[in-house]
């Protein structure tokens, strides 16, 4: 009896210890929970490098950049048009502030547009940019005075372009690694296609329907394309939602390779937009017919499509810094060797082709170079900070070029030398940035 009671107690103790063991082991499905968390929060280092979603983002980015950077690429048309029509009482240098400020507004607010994209995702900045860009063009269509063109076209529309460009860059960068430069090249080729289509469209519509309705027609076309962009552009990574820190704008410049790349971009952008702004007026001054000269910017932008895609693809294989250095040096040399002595139509057209290819690479591969320096989850802010710094060069480049041209009483040699030399100085800083990363290893893939 005594023995059976003790055995009963043993059984109860044994079952209780088993229950305790089961209770302790209950949270066994932890790996499944961990797996779910991993699925919900993508690994920043795990890039799909393709697939339907990734290439849909590229397509949407193409539409956004067609409407933003593509519009900036045809500003040379307005420099020429305003000199002959609404603003003919102003000097070439004064009018140049309109396109140069529009280019500046594309680049300078880039840090805020990129930061907003990193923290909130691309949807909100792209929606804001769509509104500002279209509203600015509508207001330009009813402008008659200098300050009205400046506020509507340069400030409002230009700011809208900024909030379209950087979120697309940041979103695309989160989907690609091995083919990142190629993806950027295809997406940014929207600016080249826009630079072909939009100048021809504007110049053919103005004589038929007038300046006002031409600007409205462009705005309505952009509305359709930006609806596609708003629906398709999204980041693979969730929004960081970090508190705003102004030092995020300054901190990248403490990195030597980044600072040197920013200086390279600054000097390249001082001279890089001068052919876009002044090639038409220089060609007409050299005796080219107005009809033929009107196709120079479309030719330049058409060839730059190949300059954006082909070198970008090569950059994925041989290194984006290596490719950019070679192509930007080529662009500066072509400016001094061909555009400077060019007086005949054939040489000017050859220069448009050569520079178009070079500018396609140098003006589009920089985001891939920033991504090469690391911190992909901050790509929007880091690209924006670099472009904000470079935008000062964009702002002052065209007015300085216009002032040089005015001081030479209509001759363009000084402006052309200025464009070529600044491009070569920028190339030198790109070489120094590469050296800061890998030293003097010529064969290094950077």
- Mean pLDDT calculated for residue range 7-26: 48
Give residue 10's pLDDT.
52
Q: Which of 158, 144, 171 shows the shortest CA–CA distance to 107?
A: 158
pLDDT at 116: 83
* Mean pLDDT computed over every residue of the chain: 82
CA 311 from centre of chain: 16
406-429: average pLDDT: 91
CATH top class, domain 48-438: mainly alpha
**Which has more confidence, 246 or 227?**
227
User: What is the tens place of the pLDDT at every residue in 295-337?
Assistant: 888 888 888 888 877 877 787 788 889 999 999 999 999 999 9
Q: Which long-range contacts (CB under 8 A, 24 or more apart) does 195-198 make?
A: 195/70, 195/73, 195/74, 195/297, 195/298, 195/300, 195/301, 195/302, 195/304, 196/298, 196/301, 196/302, 196/305, 197/70, 197/298, 198/70, 198/71, 198/73, 198/74
Q: What number is the average pLDDT over the span 27-48? A: 51
Alpha carbon distances (Å) from 133 to 17, 199, 295: 71, 17, 25
Higher pLDDT, 440 or 63: 63
Q: How much is the pLDDT for 436?
A: 92
Give residue 391's pLDDT.
83
Over residues 393-411, mean pLDDT: 85
Place of tokens 């309505």: 220
Instruction: Evaluate if residue 107 carries a pLDDT over 50.
Output: yes
Q: Predicted confidence band at 8 (pLDDT cuts at 50, 70, 90)? A: very low
User: What is the pLDDT, as a whole number, of residue 30?
Assistant: 46
CB 371 within 8 A of CB 291: no
Pair 311, 361: CB distance under 8 Å: yes
Contact partners, residue 238, CB within 8 Å, separation at least 6 = 41, 42, 121
Q: What is the pLDDT of residue 141?
A: 93
Query: What is the per-residue pLDDT for 242?
Result: 67
Q: Which of 135-149, 317-331, 357-371 has the lowest mean pLDDT?
A: 357-371
Lowest mean pLDDT, pick from 101-105, 170-174, 342-346, 403-407: 170-174
Check pLDDT > 70 for residue 26.
Answer: no
394: pLDDT strictly greater than 90:
no
Percent of the chain with pLDDT over 90: 34
More confident residue, 313 or 198: 198
Q: pTM for this structure?
A: 0.72
More confident site: 212 or 8: 212
Q: Is the dihedral of CA 256, 46, 238, 134 positive or negative?
A: positive
User: What integer is the mean pLDDT of 56-61?
Assistant: 91
Question: What's residue 41's pLDDT?
Answer: 55
pLDDT beyond 70 at 28: no
| pLDDT above 50 (res 23) | no
Contact 57, 169 (CB under 8 A): no
Looking at per-residue pLDDT, the higher value among 148 and 361 belongs to 148
pLDDT by residue (tens digit) across 236-280? Answer: 777 766 666 677 778 888 999 999 999 999 999 898 888 888 888
Rounded percentage of the chain residues whose pLDDT exceeds 70: 86
pLDDT, mean of residues 271-298: 87
**Of 78-87, 232-241, 331-340, highest mean pLDDT:** 331-340
Would you say residue 364 has pLDDT above 80? no
- Which pLDDT band holds residue 212 (cuts at 50, 70, 90)? very high
Q: Residue with structure tokens 């294989």?
A: 317
pLDDT at 240: 66
The answer, yes or no, to whether residue 151 has pLDDT greater than 50, is: yes
Residues 6+ apart with CB under 8 A from 399: 93, 96, 97, 100
Q: Locate 125 and state its tokens.
A: 């900045």
Instruction: Please state, in angstroms and as integers, the Cα–Cα distance from residue 420 to each residue in 85, 101, 271, 359, 414, following that order.
Output: 30, 21, 7, 12, 10
DSSP 8-state code for residue 236: S
| Least confident segment among 27-36, 64-73, 281-290 | 27-36
């Amino acid at each position: 009896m005594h023995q059976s009671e003790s055995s009963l107690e043993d059984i109860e103790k044994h079952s209780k210890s088993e229950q305790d063991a089961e209770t302790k082991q209950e949270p066994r499905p932890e790996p499944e929970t961990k797996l779910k968390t991993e699925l919900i929060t993508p690994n920043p280092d795990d890039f799909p490098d393709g697939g339907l979603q990734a290439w849909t983002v590229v397509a949407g980015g193409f539409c956004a950049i067609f409407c933003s950077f593509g519009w900036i690429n045809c500003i040379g048309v307005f420099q020429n048009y305003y000199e002959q029509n609404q603003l003919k009482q102003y000097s070439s240098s004064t009018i140049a502030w309109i396109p140069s400020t529009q280019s500046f507004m594309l680049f300078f607010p880039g840090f805020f547009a990129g930061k907003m994209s990193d923290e909130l995702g691309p949807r909100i900045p792209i929606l804001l940019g769509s509104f500002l860009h279209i509203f600015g063009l509508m207001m330009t269509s009813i402008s008659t005075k200098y300050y009205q063109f400046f506020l509507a076209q340069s400030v409002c529309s230009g700011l809208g372009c900024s909030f379209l460009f950087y979120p697309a860059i940041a979103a695309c960068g989160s989907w690609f690694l091995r083919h990142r430069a190629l993806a950027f090249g295809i997406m940014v080729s929207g600016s080249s296609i826009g630079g072909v289509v939009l100048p021809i469209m504007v110049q053919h519509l103005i004589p038929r329907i007038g300046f006002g309705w031409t600007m409205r027609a462009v705005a309505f076309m952009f509305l359709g394309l930006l609806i596609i962009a708003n629906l398709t552009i999204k980041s693979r990574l969730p929004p960081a939602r970090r508190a705003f820190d102004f030092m995020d704008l300054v901190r990248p410049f403490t990195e030597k390779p980044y600072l040197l790349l920013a200086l390279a971009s600054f000097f390249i952008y001082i001279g890089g937009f001068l052919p876009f702004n002044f090639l038409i007026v220089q060609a007409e001054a050299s005796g080219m017919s107005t009809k033929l000269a009107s196709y120079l910017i479309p030719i330049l932008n058409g060839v730059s499509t190949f300059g954006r895609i082909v070198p970008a693809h090569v950059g994925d294989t041989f290194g984006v810094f290596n490719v950019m250095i070679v192509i930007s040096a080529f662009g500066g040399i072509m400016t001094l060797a061909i555009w400077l002595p060019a007086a005949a139509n054939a040489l000017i057209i050859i220069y448009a082709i050569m520079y178009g290819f070079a500018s396609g690479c140098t003006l589009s591969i920089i985001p891939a170079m920033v991504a090469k320096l690391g911190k992909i989850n901050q790509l929007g802010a880091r690209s924006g900070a670099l472009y904000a710094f470079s935008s000062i060069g964009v702002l002052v480049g065209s007015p300085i070029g216009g002032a040089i041209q005015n001081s030479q009483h209509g001759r363009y040699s000084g402006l052309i030398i200025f464009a070529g030399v600044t491009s070569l100085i920028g190339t030198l800083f790109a070489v120094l940035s590469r050296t800061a990363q890998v030293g003097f290893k010529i064969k290094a893939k950077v």
